Amino acid sequence: MNRLHSQSEWISRAREVLPAAGFGNFDASIVIARGEGSRVWDEDGNEYVDYLIGSGPMLLGHGHPEVMEAVLEQLPKGMTFFANNARGIELAEAIVDAVPCCEQVRFVTSGSEADMYAIRLARAFTGKSRILKFEGGYHGMSAEAQMSLAPMKQVNFPTAVPDSAGIPQGVADEMLIAPFNDLDAVAGLLNEHSDIAAIIVEPLQRIIPAKPGFLQGLRDLCTKHGVLLIFDEIVTGFRLAYGGAQERYGVTPDICTLGKIIGGGFPLAALGASAEIMAHFDKATVGAEKWLMQLGTLSGNPVASAAGLKTMEILRRPGQYERLRQLGQTLMDMQTEALNAVGVSHRICGDPTLFDIYFTDADPIDYRSARHRDPAVNEAWNATLRRNGVFKSPGKLYPSLALDEEDLDLTRRAIEQASQVIATA
């Protein structure tokens, strides 16, 4: 295939200008040239069924024609204004209509910003400083979020372990860490510490489901102790259900964060809560001392808002979520069948809308139990899938509504090949 530059040439160029030759997001050994529907192509022309889908936002697939039409209609009218615009207001209305905890929303550009502001908002509303998060929970790139995301060493709870250089000890002192799915541990910390402003949690922690009653238990404990409950729905919002994890599990937090799907593939995120809590963004209402300053150059920009609005409109159509779950279940089943056929122990972990495999004999219930028996097995599995035309992250598989029978057939063949490879390794 004649191309101006090969993938290896692009990688060489990246090494000169990018730390670790990448953007910090994904494997820098692959450079994606384009995406269409359920497929992506790298710069050497290799074609893949895409189960990364931009780390989640492309639920409808790449370049969905109706989303493209909405974006192209907006572009000549303006790309950003640093001012209110009608598409952004419409998107806020659609989110409020869909998400149980949201009476009002505030837009930002990234999920990291949304989680950072949600934590700050909880502190402003409660007047308390400490935040409780769960070991292994991912809440973006703020200093608070980079505590015990993927600690290399195990310490006693609730000690926070920084995952990044450059974070002052004072941040760790304001964070309490608990094991996911352990209500007793949470109850103990709430009884011991009266200065906790909020608990922040992924309702589906990466791909680990909450045990039955865990999320409702958090809700009850927060209500009892006057602590705010934050659902990080950057991933689960408009994926697990149209109303997100709140709709799927029937538990309503005080604050939630949203991203990925609400921008339709463009940079956009949001946080939402009751009007009482969100009043802290309004200086005229709460006064200067309780006001939470928030602004962003691209927050609520009309292009992302138009893409998000059209994406959400499509997702409201009958049968979309039923089909997404059916696709996901089919993918789960084909992996289980192939691995069982060759006698490889494993656990499919997650929800049909977002899941992956742990090669283990134990059920993953928290960060410390979510481990592969041998990480090399997972590496061989994912490498074989990629060689056979399946593009995914090392620890997640995102189904999309763009998948068709041809994609599933290719995926099944790749899974069978990968099963044989790890069974004979």
How many angstroms separate the CA atoms of 49 and 58, rounded? 13
Task: Dump strand ranges (E) for 352-398.
Answer: 354-358, 390-391
List of residues 6+ apart from 20 with CB closer than 8 A = 28
How many angstroms separate the CA atoms of 67 and 309, rounded? 9
How many angstroms separate the CA atoms of 245 and 252, rounded? 9
Tell how strand 255-258 and strand 269-273 pair up. Answer: antiparallel
Q: H-helix or E-strand containing 178?
A: strand 175-178
How many angstroms separate the CA atoms of 122 and 115, rounded? 11
Q: Could you tell me which of 355, 359, 361, 347 has the C-alpha nearest to residue 329? A: 355
Cβ neighbours of 261 (radius 10 Å): 25
Catalytic residue check, 333: no
Catalytic residue check, 224: no
Length of the chain: 425
Catalytic residue check, 358: no
Residue tagged active-site, from 260, 310, 358, 398: 260
Helices (H), 127-181: 169-173
How many angstroms separate the CA atoms of 110 and 263, rounded? 10
- With tokens 């061989």, the residue in question is 380
Three-state secondary structure call for residue 50: strand
Residue tagged active-site, from 51, 138, 358, 398: 138
DSSP conformation letters of 242-281: TTHHHHHHT---SEEEE-GGGGTTSS-EEEEE-HHHHGGG
Residue tagged active-site, from 50, 115, 182, 232: 232
- CA neighbours closer than 13 Å in the CB half-sphere of residue 347: 17
How many angstroms separate the CA atoms of 108 and 176, rounded? 26
CB distance 281 to 292 below 8 Å: yes
Catalytic residues: 138, 232, 260
